[in-house]
Every structure is written in structure tokens, then in C-alpha cells.
Amino acid sequence: MGKVGVSKMKIDLHCHTNLSDGALAPEDLVHYAGALGIDMLAITDHDRAEEMPHLSSLAQSLSIQLIAGIELSSQWRNIGVHIVGLGVALDSEALDQTVKKQTQTRELRAKEIGLRLTKLNIEDSYAKAKVIAGQSQIGRPHFAQYLVESGQVKDLKTAYKKYLGAGKAGDVKCFWPEMAEVVEWIHRAKGYAVLAHPAKYNLTRRKLDVLCQEFYEAGGDGLEVVSGMQTKDITDYHGELCHRYALYASCGSDFHGPVSSWHDLGKMSAMPSSCRPIWELWQ
């Protein structure tokens, strides 16, 4: 496959299945991508990557180039940031070790969230969230669902506003590894490290600039210039950051399920043509 631009291909390099906090099974997500005419797809579940050979065959039958991916949680200056690993070797020992470390960290973090909610007179939240998560990686969405189902809050939005959002009791970041360490893990797994959805960290432009600089200095490869639908001003600024720090540009919807059309699979703002697309690295 030769080098092509976003204008000629429909590309989504950030989405989730029910193996983490998405709604669709991996097979259903690939079928959905095929129905939407997506040409290149990376499944990037949180702190989890599964080697499923049948998915490659399914994607090929739907004319989809499937890129192995993962989204890893980390922290930078006590701020939680997510790093997407693209093109990782799913059969590598390095990736297996990474997933095991992050799974253990998720368990410790979830137990801490449960303890903090207990102090707020919300009992058994960890055990209930664990049941809701099932075989998926446990995270705040499962606690949020329990808070709704138990009648503690009226909806998911309120769960985050009162208990789980930034600065609230359930916002636990101290367990995550440092950003530079996560970048190193991805490289050991033969993948490319991309700073995910930079606009979602609610940083000033100055702080975001510093984050991108330190991400680059840590060996980061790319920046998610486009994350779903966003304003042209945000996209253009992300493009400037790519040029400033010699980062490749990535794009993704951060799709979790066919609930919100705003983050539907493959639906995102256009990426600046001046950016170097990260898929040049594996084409």
C-alpha cells in the first residue's frame, strides 16, 4: 500500500471494544468498521491487547487494514495522560509484561477508588464494579455504572461530576507509571507511541506545549492531532505542535460504542495536509 492522505482513506486509529470500556465485541466492531467503509483501523483498548488471528482475516475480507494497538494509562506531572501504542507486536514478551503490569496497577487503583468511595458511605463499590467489568479491564466507567444502578446518582454524567471526575474522590492517578516509562514499554513492544486526545487534558496551551516537548524528549513518536469532532482552531494548534516537536500526526474517534454520533467510528475532523501522518511509518 502506498502513502496516501486522509482525503483518500478513511482512517481511525483510536477505538475501544468491550475488552476495556467499549460497547461492541471486537468482531462486531470490525464488522461495523466495514459497514462504514473504514480503510485502516486500530483497536486500542485500555491497557489490554489481544492477539486474535481471526480478526485479521475478518478485516482483510472487509478490505480493512488492521493495525495492532493499545492505549496505556500514565501520568505526567501528576496529570493522567494516555499513550496509544500503534503497530505493537502482539506476540512480544515486552507487550505481555506491559499488560500484566498495567492490569495489576488497575486492580490496585480500583481498590483505592473503592476505599475512597467507602469513606463517602458508598459501600461495596469495588466488588460491584468488578462484577460489572466482568472480563474487561476495570476502570472508572464500571464504578460509574454501579453508582447509577445502585441509585447513588441519576446518570453517568452525575457520577463523574460528584465522584469520579477530575479532582474528585475517585480520580486516582498516583498508581500509573510515568509517561516516559510507558513510551519505553511501547518501543520495547516494537510499536510507535502517540500522545492521545491532547485537548481532553484541559491544559493551557503553555502546559500542553511543555507536555508535547517532554513527550518528544521521552522518545514519543506522534500526536493525536484529531480526536473525534473538534474545532479547526484546536486541530491547527495540534498540527503546529507536531511541526514544533517533529512528531507524526495521528487521528482517531476514541469510539466506545454507537451511542454518541459525536464520537462515531471514523467520524472526526479533517487533519491538516501539512502534517506527516503516522501511518507512513508502517506503509
Q: pLDDT value at position 259?
A: 67
Q: Where are the beta strands (DSSP E) in 115-256?
A: 192-195, 222-227, 248-252
Q: 5 pLDDT band (50/70/90 cuts)?
A: very low
Q: pLDDT value at position 20?
A: 87
Q: What is the pLDDT of residues 45-71, one digit of tens each?
A: 999 998 888 899 999 999 999 999 999
Grid cell locating 54: 481471526
- List the domain boundaries for the chain: 6-94+189-281
Q: pLDDT value at position 261?
A: 54
Residues 42, 46, 47, 51, CA torsion sign: negative
Q: pLDDT value at position 172?
A: 87
Nearest to 241 by CA among 283, 199, 182, 178: 199
CATH no. for 6-94+189-281? 3.20.20.140
Grid cell locating 96: 505481555
Q: pLDDT value at position 260?
A: 57
Residues 225-254 have a mean pLDDT of: 96
Q: Where are the beta strands (DSSP E) in 52-205?
A: 65-76, 79-86, 192-195
218 Cβ contact list (under 8 Å, min separation 6): 179, 180, 183, 184
**pLDDT more than 90, % of the chain:** 81
**166 vs 153, residue with greater confidence:** 153
Q: How far apart are CA 9 and CA 252, in angstroms?
A: 13
Which residues, listed in sequence order, are joined to residue 11 by a DSSP beta bridge? Answer: 40
Stretch among 158-162, 175-179, 245-249, 255-259 having the lowest mean pLDDT: 255-259
Q: What is the pLDDT of residues 36-47, one digit of tens each?
A: 999 999 999 999
Q: pLDDT value at position 136?
A: 84
Stretch among 5-9, 125-129, 169-173 having the lowest mean pLDDT: 5-9
Q: pLDDT value at position 149?
A: 95
Q: 3 pLDDT band (50/70/90 cuts)?
A: very low
Q: 247 pLDDT band (50/70/90 cuts)?
A: very high
